[in-house]
Structures are given as structure tokens and as C-alpha cells.
Structure 1
Amino acid sequence: TLVPKEELELAKAIVTTEAKDTVLQKIHTLYPNYNNERIVLFNVNASDLLPQRRWLPANFALVAKQLLQQFNNILIVFTGAPAERAYVQNVIDMANNAKCVNSSGVFSFDELVPLYSVSNFMITNDSGPAHFASVTNLKVFVLFGPETPKLYLPLGGNAEPFYLGLACSPCVSAANHRKTSCTERPCITGITTVQVEERLAHFLSEGI
């Protein structure tokens, strides 16, 4: 019997005050002027195993820039592994705002859940962090391209997809060993910055 996703209950992580404080101290180090701004997480990365999942770096940069123009009470923390630091920094350089900070390699794996617990929301490519956040109450917006949220939307009830659902989607699956010859990627490049920015701005304004 197929159990609907909405009927699955995912246990939530217990995060101590000490763990949250440790994360916030690192935020202060990254941005010394931090004054309880709402923390917004951007994950612009996706594994090299399927780079077609990546939304354009310039799109992330533009959305970050637009959100910071509208909201002066947010800090955008770009996450990533140490090896992703240069890729992330390229996006931050395009955004050109001091309230975009590069935390690649700063937080240990064990600190990710506390980081998610003190943040307002995350916008991310279809990748691991979206699923790691499922054990918290963090709102997660996931950009889906060559795969489908019908199979891979994170559990937990807090994930919302951006997905065009084109006739050619999904073009990768276990059946084709997760390989695609597509180079144009209309499934992911067709998701516009206007769509994303408007949805994120609404969430920041209304909390829904």
C-alpha cells in the first residue's frame, strides 16, 4: 500500500540552546554587525553528480539583491562545503551586498540542524540540505529541474517546490542511471527570478 507523503510523520531534532548559541556566535563572526536580523539561507550548490539541478548563479544573486533592497532586517547566509567556497563567493560578488555572507566550510555537519533552527527560511537547489532541514521547522523552498518533487520533495511538511512540470520532466531517474543528454535545461532555467523573488518576499512579509 502506498502511503501518502502527508500521512508520514518525521521526527524533529532536539536542538539545545547551547547549540543554537554556538551557531549564532559564528554568524556574528561572519557579520560582526549582526543585530538579530532574520537569517535567510541560500544554498546555491548541487552535487557534481548532477549539475543540471543548479539554478543559474546570477539568478540567486539577483534574488538576494532584490530581497535586501526590500527588507533591511534580513541577513543572507550562503551555505556550502569547503570545496564550494569559490563557487558561492562568485554569487555573493554578483549580489554585491555586505549582508550576503559566505559560510562555506564554516559550519560543521553537526551544526547544520542548529543553523536551520535559528533561520527564517532556505532557498535551495534540489540537493542534500533541503532534506537535512526536514528534521526542523525551517521553511524550505526547493528549485526542481530535471527531477520531480513527486518523488524527491523533502518530508516534514515544510518544503515547497518551484517546478515547471514540463513535458520532458523528469529526464533523470533510476531507469536511466540518473543521466541526461540535455544541455539547455529549460526545466530549471525557465524558473524566473520574478517567480522566486515574489514568493520569498511574500513569505518574509506574511510568514506564509
Structure 2
Amino acid sequence: MAKRKKNEWFDWLKALLIALGLALIVRTFFFAPIVVDGPSMQPTLHNGDQMIVNKFVYNISEPDRFDIVVFHATDKKDFIKRVIGLPGEHVAVKDEVLYIDGEPVDEPFLEEQKENLEPQEVLTDDFRLEDLPGNDTTIPDGYVLVLGDNRDNSTDSRILGLISEDQIVGKTSLVYWPFDRFRLLKE
């Protein structure tokens, strides 16, 4: 009887350790939670939104335009922004229009904000890639240009410069909390 009880405890302990090990592996290499901190991605994301970050996706693919990514801005702080420019591209904004290699590109996630602008109000100040830290004429391989959706209140590539793909933690597209904001994000 005592030996059976000891085996039962050992089995439970073994199952618990395996479960903890699997959870640690999944959180470290595949998925992790993140909490949005600040207004820089409004109205798409709100302060306090809780999301899942897919850490694995960029091991098998490259970032795409308009992906929402989490990246290491400093040793202690991660930021969440939207990928706007990709390697080899020239990026500019003039009169509220995004230009990639001189061609206008729609930003559907900004339409509502642009419609609500007052006549003299500006959502995105004009800039060219050359004006950003680094003075690049095209985005080098291994880098992306990121912007927040709340362009007037965002610390992004216009201040930080281009973001190395090595700094990117992963892609996020699922808001799971608060429950009334639960959704998959689209472009």
C-alpha cells in the first residue's frame, strides 16, 4: 500500500514537471502574452489590451507590410508597432499619403482617423526615409521601418530609426483581453 502511494505521488510529480517543462518551452520559443502599454497603436489597440505574440512565425517567414510586431526597443522595454517598410524599399509620407518606392499605398487601418481630421490637423507629418536616423536611401537587408497607428503620439522609426529583424520578438494578431475586445486583427 505504501509503495503504491509513493508511485502515485511520483507519477503526479513527473506529470507536473513535464507539463511545466512544456509550458516553458511553448512560452520561450513559440507564444507569449503581451500587454499593450500606451496609446501609440490606437485606435487599433488600446492601452491594457492583452495579446498573444507568435514568436515562431519569423523563423519560417519574413515580416510583411502591415504586420503588427513586438520588438525590443531597449534592453528593458518592448514596443508594439506596425511594419510599414521592408528591406530594399524607399518610404515617404507626404500629405497623409504613404509612398513606397514612389507609389501610393493605402493604409486601411488609418481611414477612420483620416476622415475625422479637422481641416488644419495632421495625422502623419511628412517625412522621407532619408530624414530618419541613419539617413538611409533604402531600407537595408535585415531591417524594417515601423510606425504606430496613432502617428501623432508614437515613438517609432521616425525617432528610433530602422528596426533590425533581430530585435523583433514576433507577430501579434490576437487580442484576448478584455473579453469585449477579443478579436483577430486584420490589416
Greater strand share, 1 or 2? Answer: 2
TM range, smaller chain: under 0.3
Task: Name the larger-Rg structure.
Answer: 2
